[in-house]
Chain A
Amino acid sequence: MNAPVLQAAAVHKHYRIGKQEIPVLRGIDLSVQPGESVALLGASGAGKSTLLHVLGLLDPPTTGEVRYDGVPVHGLPIGERARLRHRHVGFVFQFYHLIPELTALQNVLLARMMAVSALGYWGQRKAAKAAAIAMLEQVGLGARLHHRPSELSGGERQRVAIARALLAEPRVILADEPTGNLDSHTAAGVVELMFGIQRDRGLALVLVTHDERLAQRCHRIVRLADGVVVS
């Protein structure tokens, strides 16, 4: 049997403010199979973003384990964790987090530069550029390669962010309210794009959202309340 591409086992996360311990996640168990899409629903403050950060190796759990392909990952050395963040997961955020100094193409290319030395990059710069252009064409921005984020609309920015998340060919996409900042029409376009790519590439998708209708399109819905999975 295939190990789940992403798995959380009894994940607890507490934040400490002064002497006070604030429990945010209180024993989360979650398995995501390759190619599966999971919607993560919950009220604001339920701990959805925190869970996503723990799943994506950005924040360590207080107790419990996160496994990629069955292997626990939070105990790995810092460099190895960074490498896995790059190879295994791709993030899409509500606020895009594009770098304003870079054009759309450069923002996407940056994903390729993250893991290689200057010399290593020089050797593959043409291939990297071609891949980034192809990626941007796939998200429908073939004509906007050299535009800065400030010259793009919200939907276009999110498409650039998706292209950036996909360039390193991750196995899992972690999306934190990717349409939370977009009007419904634009959001629909971005959602279509994401599900399309997810299907075509057989990626696992963890989608944090408030939108019940959007959640219905996923294979599975996980509801989070007060730091535990309720259904």
Chain B
Amino acid sequence: MYRLFLAIRYLLTRPINLLGMAGITLSVWALIVVVSLFSGFLAVVERHVHEAGADIVVSALPAWTRWSTLAPALADDPNVAATAPRLLHYGLLLRPGHRPPPAPLPGRGALHGGDQPFLFLMGIDAAQEAQVTGFAAWVRDAEIPAELRAADVAAPLAMRDGVPTVLIGLERMQREGLRPGDAVLLTTARLVEDEAGQKHPSKVQVPLRVAGAYKTAHSGFDGNNVFVDIAVLRQHLHDNRTEFVQEVAVRAHDATTLADTADRLQRALTRVTERNNTSYGVVQTWREKNAQFLGSVQHQRGLLKIVLVVIMVVAAFLMLATLSMMVTEKISDIGILTAMGGTPTGVTMVFLACGLVITFVGVLVGTVTGIVTAVYLEEVRQAVRWATGIDLFPVDVYNLARVPCTIDPLWLLQVAGMAMATGFVVSALPVLRAARHDPLVSLRGI
């Protein structure tokens, strides 16, 4: 009992020890808040990326792939609910008679480069695509104003005045002032073989009409991709080969076993595309397909963890300094406490108790305030913005109502455990010195 009592009295008469405690509190708080924010952000990014794509994508298909043989082979799998063929290309969409908007300066563009003029063309079959992705919902999104909506959302890529149409991301439509029905000119190129067998790029221009806007949760996708009917790309780029397909989007019945499904589909794909003992084509789950992007967010979270752990180490040094000072000052009390009936080692535990009290209170306060801050992060953001004008997190860029935040109980345990372990080590070091002190030295007087 005397240890805890003395430890608390020692600490209360030495406010400098609050420094070490504040350091521990601060590092625990920061580790919880920042990592929770990043975990929440990662969860949001994952959801957005998944919602803007198919569960599984089969890509890099060789030229001899035939949709009529590939589709049944994929549909054979028990977990495949639907498949949709895609052709992919790239190009510029310009409005005849209008000056094209200037390309954004490097580093000044939208977050995902979604305002650059160069676009990816996705040639799809609207009906089949709607079976596989959220396509049907993208063209009906509540945020699309009525005047920018496709005329017939049930068949959004239907011809207009006999001209094929293109679906453009909502933000791009608004930025460039496009309206459904506007004429645009798709400019791109394809490789053509001359008599000598040499391949040369050859300009391809396709007049299109704007069908309307679409919107997924992933603004980076919307900014960079436009949809046209698969037949348009077939006709202008692939010599009307109706069986030709470059990518297949797949929806699974059970989204929890995508990795296994992808493995099975890879084997099925190999059977269809194999030639000269070489297999072609890649099957990727949405997670694998976006691994680099998702990995970069994870990587940033990891880096932040390291930085914040360094704060904890600094706090530990601070605590070590104040505790060492206190032990130097109070080492003479070991004598009288031993005389009063303590064992010499038992008495030195008073100093361990000091360190543990600091650590425990620091971790407790840091954890509680960390959780509270994480839960009310949106309110904190608004308060900071109101007070300083600084926006800590661009909520609207990610289309969110609140700052994302995921509090992982395991992470809380890890942080608390790490801080406790650090505090224990730091508390134990000065105790080792106290343990070498002969209690009789202080009792003999000066």
Residue numbers of A with Cβ under 8 A of B are: 49, 53, 56, 58-59, 78-79, 81-83, 85-87, 91, 93-95, 97-99, 101-102, 106, 110-111, 113-118, 120-121, 164, 168
Distance in angstroms from B444 CB to nearest chain A CB is 6
B78 in the interface (beta carbon within 8 A)? no
Q: Which residue of A lies closest to B443 (CB)?
A: A93
Q: A95-B446, A120-B1 are in contact. List 16 more A-B contacts (CB 8 A).
A: A53-B440, A56-B339, A82-B343, A87-B341, A91-B340, A93-B339, A97-B336, A97-B442, A97-B443, A99-B333, A99-B336, A101-B9, A114-B2, A114-B337, A114-B341, A118-B1
B1, B9, B13 pick with most chain A CB within 10 angstroms:
B1
A101 touching B10, Cβ below 8 Å: yes
B340 touching A99, Cβ below 8 Å: no
Inside 8 A of B439's CB, which chain A residues have their CB?
Answer: 58
Q: Which residue of B lies closest to A56 (CB)?
A: B339
Q: Would A58 and B341 be within 8 Å (CB), given that A97-B336, A117-B1 are in contact?
A: no
Distance in angstroms from B334 CB to nearest chain A CB is 11
Q: Would A114 and B6 be within 8 Å (CB), given that A53-B440, A95-B445 are in contact?
A: no
Inside 8 A of A93's CB, which chain B residues have their CB?
Answer: 336, 339, 443, 445
Partner of A83, one of B5, B13, B337, B341: B341
Distance in angstroms from A120 CB to nearest chain B CB is 7
Distance in angstroms from B435 CB to nearest chain A CB is 13
Inside 8 A of A87's CB, which chain B residues have their CB?
Answer: 341
Distance in angstroms from A102 CB to nearest chain B CB is 6
Distance in angstroms from A87 CB to nearest chain B CB is 8
Q: Would A85 and B341 be within 8 Å (CB), given that A58-B443, A95-B445 are in contact?
A: yes
- Report the Cα distance A116→B13, complex, angstroms: 24
Q: Which residue of A lies closest to B10 (CB)?
A: A101
- Report the Cα distance A121→B13, complex, angstroms: 23
A56, A83, A113 pick with most chain B CB within 10 angstroms:
A113
- Report the Cα distance A119→B96, complex, angstroms: 87
B342, B442, B445, B446 pick with most chain A CB within 10 angstroms:
B445
- Report the Cα distance A114→B339, complex, angstroms: 10
A111 touching B1, Cβ below 8 Å: no
Distance in angstroms from A77 CB to nearest chain B CB is 10
Interface string of B1-37 (1 = CB under 8 A from A): 1101110011011000000000000000000000000
- Please classify the interface of chain B as helix (H, G, I), strand (E, B), loop, or mixed, using the class held by over half of its residues: helix
- Report the Cα distance A79→B337, complex, angstroms: 14
B443 touching A82, Cβ below 8 Å: no
B4 touching A118, Cβ below 8 Å: yes
Interface string of B319-342 (1 = CB under 8 A from A): 000000000000001011111111
- Report the Cα distance A168→B228, complex, angstroms: 93
B335, B341, B342, B443 pick with most chain A CB within 10 angstroms:
B341
- Report the Cα distance A97→B350, complex, angstroms: 17
- Report the Cα distance A102→B341, complex, angstroms: 18
Q: Which residue of A lies closest to B336 (CB)?
A: A97
Q: Which residue of A lies closest to B14 (CB)?
A: A101
A110 touching B341, Cβ below 8 Å: no
Q: Which residue of B lies closest to A114 (CB)?
A: B341
A116 touching B1, Cβ below 8 Å: yes
Partner of B340, one of A81, A101, A102, A114: A114
Q: Would A78 and B440 be within 8 Å (CB), given that A58-B338, A113-B5 are in contact?
A: no
A-contacting residues, B328-376, CB 8 Å: 333, 335-343, 346
Listed by A's residue number, 26 A-B pairs whose Cβ atoms lie within 8 Å are A58-B338, A58-B440, A58-B443, A59-B440, A82-B342, A85-B338, A91-B336, A94-B445, A97-B335, A97-B339, A98-B336, A99-B6, A99-B9, A101-B6, A101-B9, A101-B13, A102-B6, A106-B9, A110-B6, A111-B340, A113-B1, A113-B5, A114-B340, A114-B341, A114-B342, A164-B340
- Report the Cα distance A56→B338, complex, angstroms: 11
Distance in angstroms from B258 CB to nearest chain A CB is 55
A-contacting residues, B109-145, CB 8 Å: none
Interface string of B387-399 (1 = CB under 8 A from A): 0000000000000
B440 touching A110, Cβ below 8 Å: no
Inside 8 A of A113's CB, which chain B residues have their CB?
Answer: 1-2, 5
- Report the Cα distance A108→B116, complex, angstroms: 80
B341 touching A115, Cβ below 8 Å: yes
A58 touching B340, Cβ below 8 Å: no
- Report the Cα distance A168→B335, complex, angstroms: 18
A86 touching B5, Cβ below 8 Å: no
Q: Would A85 and B6 be within 8 Å (CB), given that A58-B440, A58-B443, A95-B445 are in contact?
A: no
Inside 8 A of B333's CB, which chain A residues have their CB?
Answer: 97, 99
A-contacting residues, B287-333, CB 8 Å: 333
- Report the Cα distance A129→B340, complex, angstroms: 18
B341 touching A82, Cβ below 8 Å: yes
Inside 8 A of A118's CB, which chain B residues have their CB?
Answer: 1, 4
For the complex of A and B, the 7 pairs showing the least CB-CB separation, nearest first, are A86-B341, A97-B336, A113-B2, A121-B1, A113-B1, A114-B341, A82-B343
- Report the Cα distance A1→B409, complex, angstroms: 70
Inside 8 A of B339's CB, which chain A residues have their CB?
Answer: 56, 58, 85, 91, 93, 97
- Report the Cα distance A115→B13, complex, angstroms: 24
Inside 8 A of A78's CB, which chain B residues have their CB?
Answer: 343
Q: Would A168 and B341 be within 8 Å (CB), given that A58-B443, A99-B333 are in contact?
A: yes
- Report the Cα distance A128→B346, complex, angstroms: 22
Distance in angstroms from A112 CB to nearest chain B CB is 9
Q: Which residue of B lies closest to A102 (CB)?
A: B9
Distance in angstroms from A126 CB to nearest chain B CB is 15
Q: Which residue of B lies closest to A78 (CB)?
A: B343
Distance in angstroms from A22 CB to nearest chain B CB is 15
Distance in angstroms from B325 CB to nearest chain A CB is 15
